Amino acid sequence: ALACLKTKTRLLYASTCCAYGNNNQEISDEDSPVSPTELYAETKLQGEKVIENVGGEYSLLRLATFYGPNMRPSLATSIFLRKILLGQEIEIHGDGKQTRCYTHVDDIASGIRIVLESVNTPKIINISDDTAYSVNDLVKIISKVTGKHPKVKYVNDRAGQIWSSSIKSMRMKQLGWQPKWNLMSGLTDCMNHLKS
């Protein structure tokens, strides 16, 4: 942040929509309160504070839960897709009603590019598909994509779980951004990459 300030370079900081956490808001936009539930989100927020304190030109990009080909194996989208393809049992933490706005990595990347190429951008910008899916919905969609019916086991919820994550990205849309992928087409893309 200091280097950007000294060189008068605008800084784009990759933060997270997980910063909103369990804030008791039905839908979170950039003006919603933050209430992180996990260390990851807390450290991202601390990074935001450092940048705000340093000043200069910057945009804090709160990125959604994103997925895509070659995604990291620890993501639910990756775990569920692989296990369903292999005919293995899926474990769902809690009741599976917790929601996320899964966003394809191509849409995240196009959003970052639009912010980079724009001037006078807001200080905080969400980059997220606006459609929230529950974990149960995710399993059903992967089942449709693969044509396989998984065995599902519900286990104890994990600590720090975000119950409801529904994100609005109006500031991005005002810059002309629209996600091109929906969850069905995006997961089909991921499955085709796994099979190739």
CB of 187 within 8 A of CB of 141?
A: yes
Specify if 2 maps to a domain.
no
As a whole number, the mean pLDDT across the chain is 95
Using a cut of 0.85, tell me whether the model's pTM lies above it.
yes
pLDDT above 90: percentage of residues in the chain: 93
pLDDT for the residue 160 = 84
C-alpha–C-alpha distance, residues 132 and 182, integer Å: 11
Specify if 72 maps to a domain.
yes
Specify if 3 maps to a domain.
no
pLDDT for the residue 164 = 87
Which tens digit of pLDDT belongs to each residue from 39-97?
A: 999 999 999 999 999 999 999 999 999 999 999 999 999 999 999 999 999 999 999 99
pLDDT for the residue 4 = 94
Could you give the angle at the alpha carbon of 31 between the alpha carbons of 10 and 45, nearest 5°?
60
pLDDT at 195 over 90: no
pLDDT for the residue 13 = 98
Specify if 173 maps to a domain.
yes
Q: For the purposes of burial, counting CB atoms within 10 Å of the CB of 59, is it exposed (0-12), middle (13-18) or buried (19 or more)? A: buried
C-alpha–C-alpha distance, residues 109 and 69, integer Å: 13
pLDDT for the residue 133 = 97
pLDDT at 196 over 80: no
How many domains does the chain contain in total? Answer: 1
pLDDT for the residue 55 = 92
* Average pLDDT of the segment spanning 148-161: 91
Specify if 145 maps to a domain.
yes
Choose among 106, 173, 123: nearest CA to 12. Answer: 123
pLDDT at 18 over 90: yes
What are residue 52's phi and psi, to 5 degrees? -60, -40
pLDDT at 176 over 80: yes
**For residue 159, what pLDDT band results from cuts at 50, 70 and 90?**
confident
Containing domain of residue 122, as a range? 10-195
Length of the chain, in residues: 196
pLDDT for the residue 15 = 98
Specify if 175 maps to a domain.
yes
Specify if 1 maps to a domain.
no
Q: What is the CATH number of the domain that holds 75?
A: 3.40.50.720
pLDDT at 158 over 90: no
Specify if 4 maps to a domain.
no
